[in-house]
Amino acid sequence: MQEKLKIALIQSNLFWENSRENINGFNMKIDAISSDVDLIILPEMFSTGFSMNPEKLSETMEGFSVSWMREKAIKKEIAIVGSLIIEENGNYYNRLIFTKPNGEIHTYDKCHLFTYGGEDKVYSSGNERLIVDYKGWKICPMICYDLRFPVWTRNSDTYDVLIFVANWPKPRISAWDTLLKARAIENMCYTIGVNRVGVDGNNLEYIGHSQVIDMLGNELNAIDNEKEVVFKVSLDKSTLMESRNKFRFLNDKDSFSIE
């Protein structure tokens, strides 16, 4: 087990529906990150922005963006996570890709599709959570709108880190801030939210507020969260376990099944 997990969050503007430009931008940002990082987190639909045009923009698991993630992870000896548009068996998915330094790939298809934005009209939803074992840490990655659904994110697997990659717009940013803290407190885990900045092709404005929160609801980063930025944070396993062993809140959680 690795006692500390060093993470880099990339809060970036995105070129609208332009995967090549976005990949070029993330290439430069990742290359500028020193090698003492274990995991890099990108926003939701990092290669296109939150687009409802999957027929034009989708890739396969053997496509350019996934291949880039895998090759970059291997070259930098680092894990990379983010979501993008994937076509599979005639269906389109908002799919999260978690790529390990050895090239191993784990995937999660967004469960809660954003009906207000019409996501459910063009994408298929997933129905299985993903827990990734990485360097002795159990990580549960989710996508944007999943943040609003505490039953789906409930810590029944004793995961250590909950991640949300997002395109969460400015008008509802207060909900983003509040719900990230709630998910951290109720699940007694580190919770990370990585959001984008800038204006997309639908004229929606994003102001970031990417953040890292500990198991007691304390913010671990204090930066100007409304600009493009790459920042690092170190998570401590002993601090997490000491808090859990002291308070034992998870022992009192309700039992339920998801249908």
Residue 258 lies in a domain: no
Please tell me which residue in 17, 29, 44, 189 is annotated as part of the active site: 44
Between helix 64-76 and helix 19-31 the angle, nearest 10°, is 10
Q: Please tell me the total count of domains within the chain.
A: 1
Residue pLDDT, tens place only, 154-200: 999 899 999 999 999 999 999 999 999 999 999 999 999 999 999 99
Residue pLDDT, tens place only, 2-54: 999 999 999 999 999 999 999 999 999 999 997 799 999 999 999 999 999 99
- Can you tell me which residue has the tokens 């330094």? 101
**Residue among 218, 222, 214, 220 at smallest CA distance from 239:** 214
What is the rounded average pLDDT of the residues 222-238? 88
Give the Cα separation of 55 and 234 in Å (integer): 39
Please tell me which residue in 72, 100, 110, 189 is annotated as part of the active site: 110
Residue 259 lies in a domain: no
Give the Cα separation of 217 and 221 in Å (integer): 12
Please tell me which residue in 59, 72, 140, 144 is annotated as part of the active site: 144
Q: Is the pTM of this model over 0.95?
A: yes
* First CA to last CA distance, the chain: 34
Residue 211 lies in a domain: yes
Residue 257 lies in a domain: no
The size of the chain, in residues, is: 259
Domain containing residue 119: 4-251
**Residue among 208, 216, 231 at smallest CA distance from 7:** 231
Residue 19 lies in a domain: yes
The per-residue pLDDT of the chain, averaged, comes to 96
CATH number at residue 130: 3.60.110.10
44 is a catalytic site residue: yes
Helix/strand/coil percentages in the chain, nearest 5: 30, 30, 40
